[in-house]
Structure 1
Amino acid sequence: MASSLTKDSPGTPGDEKTFFGHPRGLATLFMTEMWERFSFYGMRALLPLYLVSDSGLHMNAATATSIYSIYLAMVYLLAMPGGWFGDRVWGPRKTVGISACVIMIGHLTLALPGQATFFVGLALVAFGSGLLKSNISTMVGHLYKGPKDPRRDGGFTVFYMGINLGSFAAPLIIGTVGEKWDWHAGFALAAVGMALGLVQFLVFTRHLSPRSSITPKPLTKAERNSTITKGMVWLIIAAVFYGIVVVTGSYTLNWALIPITLAGLVIPIAVLVRIKRDKELTDSEQSKMSGYIWFFVAAAIFWMIYDQGGSTMSLFGEKSTTNNLLGFDFPTSWYQSVNPILIMALAPVVATIWLALNRRGKEPSTVVKFGSGLFLVGVSFFVFMIPLTMAGDGTKVSPMWLVAIYFVQTVGELCLSPVGLSVTTKMAPEKYSSQMMGVWFLAVTAGDSVTSLLSLPPFNVDLNKSGIVGAEAAVAVIAGIAVWMYRRSVKALMGEVR
């Protein structure tokens, strides 16, 4: 499968093949990530629709939004322990292989009927995705000769194309099968996608760098025993607590949702506080961390709104849009393919604009790009208020309203997300250089946890009301303006980073 995408590299012997001029192992990782994203985004497109459907779990929209948001929050939260497993326990290559198996089993479990099996499957997919997320990107880096290898940035660009190809195709295929035929068949098809990715990963793993099989800093025997002991203690405490709740007849779904949501808020804050209070950091590193907190909070607000594209907006699409374009009816899950195709179309355009402005000495600073992304995601929800108001009397609106909202959000994402990844690596204290990418993902966790918390008691907010959408939009726009107004102060904290 992967070898069919390779070609001879100019100037190299015929038996030395490359993948679009890059190390052949990139094809293996490209295909693995493409199929993993295919399974992930296909299941994600079905998730909120299945939760509210009469033929699914028949939940209300608030509970469905909360579960969806918690699921996304946990995927990004688990990226940190996923990186830890790769660094300390199994090494990146073994961790990716195991995590792919866990994801596949999770999707198969989702394909079984029953609410209990559904939540077990959802937990397995979240755990497996968290394990895989950090390590597969690390393995891409291993293919190149250090950060100065001229092919490195291009290699990651090709790799991210795999992400968008998988996420574009998944709703069209898995979404159609799940919505039009059978929900569980859709989840099973997601398992097939992950199985294809796993098989080609195992078959072509020989093309990967030997470094990917090495555990950089393996646990000592004492550390291993301590980790297992602490894990068992927490597991016993949780089992006893929830056992008492169940036996007393007090258990409801909120007993699981609320603690997980609160953890998704507390853990990111605790991690930032721990790093900020580390007395081993230099004054320069302390200053950069103070500046980074601005970016982190801004990113959390951004993702709080952006990730509702798969929950709040998807449920609106199901209930209040015609789902018909030029006489062609389509499933609601197809809306989730809009963002990936816009990313593929607009990313080169945005990159070209930045380069053109840079040549003229007018490229916006990192802070201004960040503020712009936050401002745009707020504007997208102001736009959302229009179809929400139009549909208030039961009228079904054109699907182009959602396409327009996704368009504005995608432009905002291209302003904020790549810059966020870059500034995270540049501002990371040396002591935490390998952990800071996980910290960046925690901004997604925090944002999605806020969305979940709003949907749960005691708040019970209906996120599909124009007043709530307007309030979220106002928060994002005001935050974006605040970032712009204090840009000089943030730049001063960033030191030499721009």
Structure 2
Amino acid sequence: MSKLNMKKVYESVPQKGFFGHPKGLFTLFFTEFWERFSYYGMRAILVFYMYYEVSKGGLGLDQSLALSIMSIYGALVYMSGIIGGWMADRLFGTSKAVFYGGILIMFGHIALAIPGNTTLFFISMVLIVLGTGLLKPNVSSIVGDMYSENDDRRDSGFSIFYMGINLGAFLAPLITGSAMGYSFHLGFGFAAIGMFLGLLVFIFTKKKNLGLAGTIVPNPLSPEEKKKVFKIFSLSIIVIAVICAAAIPAGYLTFDVFIAFIGVLGILIPTLYFIVMYRSKKTTDVERSRVIAYIPLFIASVMFWVIYDQGATILANYADKRTQLDFAGIHISPAWFQSLPALFIIIFAPVFAWLWIKLGKRQPTIPQKFSIALLLAGLSFIVILLPGYLSGGDSLVSPIWLALSYLIVSLGELCLSPVGLSATTKLAPAAFSAQTMSLWFLSTAAAGAINAQVVKFYSQETEMLYFGVIGGASIVLSIILFMLSPKIQSFMKGIR
């Protein structure tokens, strides 16, 4: 988007009306609240749905396979953000991308809510993957459009927006986790209702609150380019369909092959993306320097999400199989633990937002905040290995240990995720604004692709080694990033 268009968009948005922030933050706050309600509500019970026996309402898949599918699903959800960001940048703008994405997500959850077989399950997964790819990166990009580049409210605004995400993420597992005791499909139905409510908020408030934010196509395709893209897209669909039709019955396209393929894509796609952005004629010299600064932040983000996202796989399984679920006279659903990170962020997000404003120019730099996040992520895994070390690997452990691990990694998330969202909008080349936001979420996709392989090494016997190696790797990377922070900051060319 050109500087002129950025100014036009900024001036069209009412700049007061939501806790001292642009009025459009209300629309995006509640749209994302309900979208995240649907996503985290579904995610909290999905892995249990896959590996629980059919007699208990599940699909009866092998537990190791279920953990890998859960990880690769997370990778695909965020990998599809590249397509969603590109479509917003080149075809119809971020506002329409959010709307279309919400529709697909809602129908995906409706499909999950209908009792069926694995075929219907995978159809629902495809719909949610495509819908999230359209909605997730683009709603965050619209938040960035509402602020000028040097607006001091920017980081605080993203923190408030992020708190909306976590309000939805906190409530949803409590509801769907309770519902899964009756029926998994009832829980998925609540997720569908959540996305429907999010669409209503967006449709009825965007015109008044968002102005031109999200309506301008930054880098539109020419008519000739549209024809070329349509041909490539159509041919790709045909080729994929033919390959699947031939390879699946022959046994060449198995889950393991597919998971390995997505793992390669998780590393290859961001690498190619950085090369394209850096070499583009539309990228200025200052923007190229900022792209270089973004690379170590991206790597740090991948390491952080490798640990964080295991909260929905390894730690979910840990809650189900290794944790004492009768506590203080209450029977705890294993899905309820998925609410803890969001609860901690709701509590501490205002503290961090206040802290960054209070510190002003004295606050840690962006790379330093990332290094703190990596340190905390590593410590969260070190903490969870302690009960096994102290009491042995056979006895059930107190849920307090799991809660403490979630607390530590959640504090790390507050040092990385809202800061990373804000930094991405600052460091993005103008011609790649929405696509660079997709690249930020691609770090989560890369983490999911890595986790799809890593989770295979987890078992009750390897538990201590598993948590120790991964946690230790994060701590080492934290130290390296902290030492490199001044150099990285110099490449940001004035961005803090």
By the TM > 0.5 criterion, same fold? yes
Given that residues 381 and 469 in structure 1 are in contact (C-alpha distance below 8 angstroms), is that contact kept between their aligned partners in structure 2?
Answer: yes
Given that residues 265 and 446 in structure 1 are in contact (C-alpha distance below 8 angstroms), is that contact kept between their aligned partners in structure 2?
Answer: yes
Q: 1:386 to 1:262 in 2, by over 3 A?
A: same
SS for the counterpart of 1:420 is helix
Q: 1:313 to 1:145 in 2, by over 3 A?
A: closer
Q: 1:231 to 1:177 in 2, by over 3 A?
A: same
Aligned residue for 2:3?
Answer: none
Q: 1:33 to 1:251 in 2, by over 3 A?
A: same
Q: Give the whole-Å Cα distance in 1 for the aligned partners of 2:155 and 2:366.
A: 19
Q: Give the whole-Å Cα distance in 1 for the aligned partners of 2:208 and 2:360.
A: 38
Which amino acid is 2:130 matched to?
F
Q: How far did 1:297 drift?
A: 1.0
Which amino acid is 1:346 matched to?
F
Q: 1:340 aligns with which of 328, 336, 342?
A: 342
Which amino acid is 2:457 matched to?
V
Aligned residue for 1:14?
Answer: none
Aligned residue for 1:485?
Answer: 483
**TM-score, reference length from structure 1:** 0.87
Aligned residue pairs total 474
Q: 1:367 to 1:92 in 2, by over 3 A?
A: closer
Per-residue CA distance 1:333-354 (angstroms, 9 max, x = gap)? 1111111111111122234444
Q: 1:470 aligns with which of 468, 471, 492?
A: 468
Per-residue CA distance 1:305-326 (angstroms, 9 max, x = gap)? 1111111111100001112332
Which amino acid is 2:384 matched to?
F
SS for the counterpart of 1:89 is helix
Per-residue CA distance 1:394-415 (angstroms, 9 max, x = gap)? 3111101011001110111122
Q: 5 Å matches for 1:266-345?
A: 266-278=268-280, 284-345=286-347
Q: Give the whole-Å Cα distance in 1 for the aligned partners of 2:224 and 2:107.
A: 32
Q: Give the whole-Å Cα distance in 2 for the aligned partners of 1:271 and 1:291.
A: 15
Q: Give the whole-Å Cα distance in 1 for the aligned partners of 2:365 and 2:29.
A: 31
Is 1:30 the counterpart of 2:29 in the alignment?
yes
Q: How far did 1:238 drift?
A: 1.6
Aligned residue for 1:126?
Answer: 129
Structure 1 unaligned residues grouped into runs of 5+: 1-16
Which amino acid is 2:274 matched to?
L
SS for the counterpart of 2:59 is coil
Q: How far did 1:495 drift?
A: 4.1
Per-residue CA distance 1:445-493 (angstroms, 9 max, x = gap)? 11221111334xxxx4226622122111111111111112333433344
Q: 1:225 aligns with which of 219, 224, 227?
A: 227
Q: Give the whole-Å Cα distance in 1 for the aligned partners of 2:47 and 2:364.
A: 38
Is 1:50 the counterpart of 2:49 in the alignment?
yes
Q: 1:96 to 1:67 in 2, by over 3 A?
A: same
Q: How far did 1:191 drift?
A: 0.8
**Larger displacement relative to structure 2 (185-194 or 79-88):** 79-88
Q: How far did 1:269 drift?
A: 1.7
Q: 5 Å matches for 1:19-98?
A: 19-20=18-19, 25-54=24-53, 55=56, 56-98=58-100
Q: Give the whole-Å Cα distance in 1 for the aligned partners of 2:23 and 2:35.
A: 19
Given that residues 382 and 467 in structure 2 are in contact (C-alpha distance below 8 angstroms), is that contact kept between their aligned partners in structure 1?
Answer: yes
Q: How far did 1:150 drift?
A: 7.4
Aligned residue for 2:4?
Answer: none
Q: How far did 1:494 drift?
A: 3.6
Q: 5 Å matches for 1:342-361?
A: 342-358=344-360, 361=362
Q: 1:403 to 1:241 in 2, by over 3 A?
A: same
Aligned residue for 1:379?
Answer: 379
Aligned residue for 1:10?
Answer: none
Q: Give the whole-Å Cα distance in 2 for the aligned partners of 1:491 and 1:154.
A: 21
Aligned residue for 1:11?
Answer: none
Q: 1:164 aligns with which of 157, 163, 166?
A: 166
Given that residues 28 and 139 in structure 2 are in contact (C-alpha distance below 8 angstroms), is that contact kept between their aligned partners in structure 1?
Answer: yes
Is 1:248 the counterpart of 2:242 in the alignment?
no
Aligned residue for 1:201?
Answer: 202
Given that residues 28 and 207 in structure 1 are in contact (C-alpha distance below 8 angstroms), is that contact kept between their aligned partners in structure 2?
Answer: no
Q: 1:390 to 1:234 in 2, by over 3 A?
A: farther
**Larger displacement relative to structure 2 (81-90 or 198-207):** 198-207
Given that residues 375 and 476 in structure 1 are in contact (C-alpha distance below 8 angstroms), is that contact kept between their aligned partners in structure 2?
Answer: yes
Q: How far did 1:132 drift?
A: 0.8
Which amino acid is 1:470 matched to?
G
**Larger displacement relative to structure 2 (464-473 or 295-304):** 464-473
Aligned residue for 1:12?
Answer: none
Q: How far did 1:57 drift?
A: 2.0
Q: Give the whole-Å Cα distance in 1 for the aligned partners of 2:204 and 2:100.
A: 15
Aligned residue for 2:403?
Answer: 403
Which amino acid is 1:231 matched to?
F
Given that residues 137 and 434 in structure 2 are in contact (C-alpha distance below 8 angstroms), is that contact kept between their aligned partners in structure 1?
Answer: no
Aligned residue for 1:174?
Answer: 176
**Larger displacement relative to structure 2 (346-355 or 40-49):** 346-355
Q: Give the whole-Å Cα distance in 1 for the aligned partners of 2:208 and 2:158.
A: 17
Per-residue CA distance 1:53-88 (angstroms, 9 max, x = gap)? 113122333322221121222222222221222233
SS for the counterpart of 2:457 is coil
Per-residue CA distance 1:108-138 (angstroms, 9 max, x = gap)? 1112321111111012112111111123234
Q: How far did 1:93 drift?
A: 3.0
Q: 1:154 to 1:372 in 2, by over 3 A?
A: closer
Identity level (%): 38
Given that residues 278 and 288 in structure 2 are in contact (C-alpha distance below 8 angstroms), is that contact kept between their aligned partners in structure 1?
Answer: yes
Per-residue CA distance 1:351-386 (angstroms, 9 max, x = gap)? 444455557x4x333322221211111111111111
Q: 1:218 to 1:293 in 2, by over 3 A?
A: closer
